[in-house]
Chains A and B, each alone.
Chain A
Amino acid sequence: MSRLTKIVLIGLILFPFAFLLMLSLGRQWPYPVLLPEQWSLSNWQVVLGGSEGLGNSVLLSVLLSLSVATLSTGLSFWVSRHIAYHPKREAWLSLAYFPYVFAPVILAACLQFFFIVGGLYGTFGGVLLAQLFITFPYGVIFFSSFWNERLRSMEELVKTLGGSTRQAYAKVLVPVAKGALMTCFFQLFLISWFEYGLTNLIGVGKVPTLTLRVFQYVNEANVFLAALASCLLIMPPVILLWLNRQVVFQERNI
Chain B
Amino acid sequence: MLEIKQISKQFRGEAVLRDLSFTLQQHEMLSILGRSGSGKTTLLKVLAGLEAADSGTVLLEGKDLSQKPANQRGIVYLYQEALLFPHLNVFENIAFGLRLRKVPEMEVRRKVGHLLERLQLPEQSTKMPEQLSGGQRQRVAFGRALVIEPQVLLLDEPFGALDTETRRSMQQLLKRVAKDLGLTAIFVTHDLKEAMLMGDRLGMMDGGQLKIYGNRAEFIADEQTGALEEARFWTDLQSIKLTK
Contact = CB atoms under 8 A, between A and B. Distances in A.
B69 interface: yes
Interface stretch (A109-117, A123-131, A149-157, A228-236): A149-157
Contacts of B81: 150, 153
Contact of B50 (A150, A160, A175): A160
B110 interface: no
B69 A161 contact: no
Interface of A: 150, 153-154, 156-164, 167, 171-172, 175-176, 178, 254
A160 B76 contact: yes
Contact of A167 (B72, B79, B100, B128): B100
Nearest to A159: B70
Contacts of B48: 156, 160
Interface in B54-83: 69-73, 75-79, 81, 83
16 contacts: A150-B83, A153-B81, A154-B83, A156-B77, A159-B71, A160-B50, A160-B70, A161-B76, A162-B72, A162-B101, A163-B71, A167-B100, A171-B96, A171-B100, A176-B86, A254-B87
B97 interface: yes
A176 B93 CA distance: 13
B111 to A, nearest CB: 14
Contacts of B101: 162
A161 B69 CA distance: 12
Nearest to B70: A159
Given A150-B81, A156-B70, A162 B86 contact: no
B145 interface: yes
Interface of B: 48-50, 69-73, 75-79, 81, 83, 85-87, 96-97, 99-101, 128, 144-145, 148
A152 to B, nearest CB: 10
Given A156-B50, A156-B77, A161 B85 contact: no
Nearest to B89: A254
Nearest to A154: B83
Given A153-B81, A176-B87, A163 B100 contact: yes
Contacts of B69: 159
